Amino acid sequence: MDGGSRKADCDAIVVGGGLAGLACAHSLARARLDVRLLEGSARLGGVVGTRRGDYLFEEGPNTVQAGGAHFRALVDELGLSERLVCTRDAHGNPSAGGERHLWHAGRLVALPAKPGGLLTTPLLSWRAKAIIATEPLRRFHAPDPDEEEPSFEAFLGERIGREATMRLAGAFVRGVHGAEIGALGARSAFPRLWEATCRHGSLLKAARALQAAPASRLPGPDWPRGALVSFPLGLQELVEALARDLGVRASVSSLVDKIERAGALWRVRLADGATHHARAVVLATPAPTLDRLCGDFLDLDLRARAAAIPHASLVVAHLGCAPGAVPEHAPRGFGYLVPPEARSRPDAPLALGAIHASELFAGRAPRGARSYAVFLPPAAVEGLDDEAVARLAAADLARASGLPRTPALSEWWVRRWHNAIPTSGVGHMRLVADIRAALAAQADGLEVAASWTDGIAVDSVVGAGREAARRVQARLLSLEDAA
Ligand SMILES: Cc1cc2nc3c(=O)[nH]c(=O)nc-3n(C[C@H](O)[C@H](O)[C@H](O)COP(=O)(O)OP(=O)(O)OC[C@H]3O[C@@H](n4cnc5c(N)ncnc54)[C@H](O)[C@@H]3O)c2cc1C
């Protein structure tokens, strides 16, 4: 049955059960709307997943910014604030976690913890330090709104010089985005830093202003700026709480194949032939799915541009080392990053970086044992089976960390991520705005909210889901008012 006479099965359908979709469905349910969440795979959580054995391995995200307002609000609504655990410094005080290191000239060197440390670090030459120190004197002129944004590499290079850009920011981008710095757009990937730099006319002044901005009061415990959080049993705890909260409203193994208009309603077709009708739909799926799902509402050019958004692939080797397998003097702290320039050195690690997982939160490894997550580019492990990848990662970690031998592994797990992290390249933000404008014009009531729309960090993804729920709620209310 088509057209106006058909009744909706529910108010809203959320497609995709990653954190964006789960957060969205949770908000809609809290607003007392009749919501259904359809997840194509056999489990909820998307890229979030915790393997719990003797060691606790986070397959996807390891940490969330404690200052993430969307994440903290969601955690509070679920009654989980008291479950949060925070990274600590060497004295056990809540902090941004232990030292971060950079692999530089054959060894690990501590990264400066504060911007002032950039002027004393052995990681940069005096020339590079002079360019940084004088940055506020060279006014930044924001491009016209119609002008294309620069790449993050070009923007930073012009501000702080090529050496600091490639060595420090290049390593950071590889570690967080799994991409090379030239692939990111300055505004699209770091909108707050970009806007603040435009406002202050200087990157350093912008960074200082962002640091000095008063932190908003968040529900639950107070932690210092920069602290990172998780749960004792890993981030999967959040997924489990959301799944409990949604109950039968969330279905797994429900792959959506097509979204169509059915009069004033939306018809959502599943791959198994089932259909659902709703008054609104939120797509919380990766960008390439738009091509198939939204063929009727988005023109070919927008669908092609969405499908062409690059995504980073990476292989994560989780390594558990029994007590004594790693020498006591081995580096501790948060972990290390490998800058892009290292590729030209024969002794460089293969990894993009590694996290000392057992250092982040208590209970990640048995007492006295250590665990690591080593992030590898897929090309470095092509053709290797999982066990060979784990061995190679352990050898790479040992070489990078200056250990006398490769540690024996008492437990390991390899996760291969294919096209898992969207890259916000030059023009990405405009593309998302164009897609949202086209949907608003041609498909009112169809929303997009995912890591490719509002940023990849867990807090941004949760925020995207919550904001989409707010827009859906407002639309349904306005329809009721009009009726
Ligand atoms: C290895 C890794 C490490 C990370 N580390 C961190 C970190 O430490 N801190 C941090 O803040 N962020 C981190 N991130 C980023 C963050 O975890 C992600 O950006 C975020 O979790 C993505 O959530 P999402 O809901 O947008 O997408 P996803 O988690 O990809 O969920 C999308 C869901 O949609 C489903 N789906 C797709 N098509 C259909 C369909 N047709 N029908 C129904 N369902 C469908 C998929 O099965 C999936 O479950 C990391 C990401 C990865 C991959």
Q: Is 58 contained in some domain?
A: no
Is any ligand 1 atom within 6 A of the Cβ of residue 312?
Answer: no
Q: Is 67 contained in some domain?
A: no
**pLDDT tens digits for 345-402?**
999 999 999 999 999 999 999 999 999 999 999 999 999 999 999 999 999 999 999 9
In DSSP terms, 35 is beta-bridged to 12
Residue finishing a domain among 422, 447, 462: 422
Q: Is 394 contained in some domain?
A: yes
Q: Is 403 contained in some domain?
A: yes
Q: What angle do CA 118, 120, 125 make, to 5 degrees?
A: 80
Q: Is 332 contained in some domain?
A: yes
The most confident of 92-96, 217-221, 417-421, by mean pLDDT: 417-421
Distances in whole angstroms, Cα of residue 291 to Cα of each of 18, 74, 144, 278, 352? 19, 31, 31, 21, 32
Separation of CA 71 and ligand 1 centre (Å)? 15
Nearest CA to ligand 1 atom 38: 285
**pLDDT tens digits for 306-356?**
999 999 999 999 999 999 999 999 988 999 999 999 988 999 999 999 999
Residue 299 domain boundaries: 10-48+235-309+424-482
Q: Is 29 contained in some domain?
A: yes
Atom of ligand 1 minimally distant from the CA of 62: 8
The C-alpha atoms of residue 212 and residue 309 are separated, in whole angstroms, by: 34
Q: Quick one: 334 and 429 in the same domain?
A: no
Q: Quick one: 478 and 416 in the same domain?
A: no
Number of domains in the chain: 3
Is any ligand 1 atom within 6 A of the Cβ of residue 373?
Answer: no
Q: Is 71 contained in some domain?
A: no
Q: Quick one: 418 and 399 in the same domain?
A: yes
Distances in whole angstroms, Cα of residue 58 to Cα of each of 95, 101, 347, 414? 20, 21, 29, 11
Atom of ligand 1 minimally distant from the CA of 314: 1
Residue finishing a domain among 148, 181, 212: 212
Separation of CA 182 and ligand 1 centre (Å)? 23
Q: How many CB atoms lie within 10 A of CB 114?
A: 7
Q: Quick one: 127 and 254 in the same domain?
A: no
**pLDDT tens digits for 388-400?**
999 999 999 999 9
| Pair 107, 400: CB distance under 8 Å | no
Residue finishing a domain among 404, 422, 440: 422
**pLDDT tens digits for 463-481?**
999 999 999 999 999 888 8
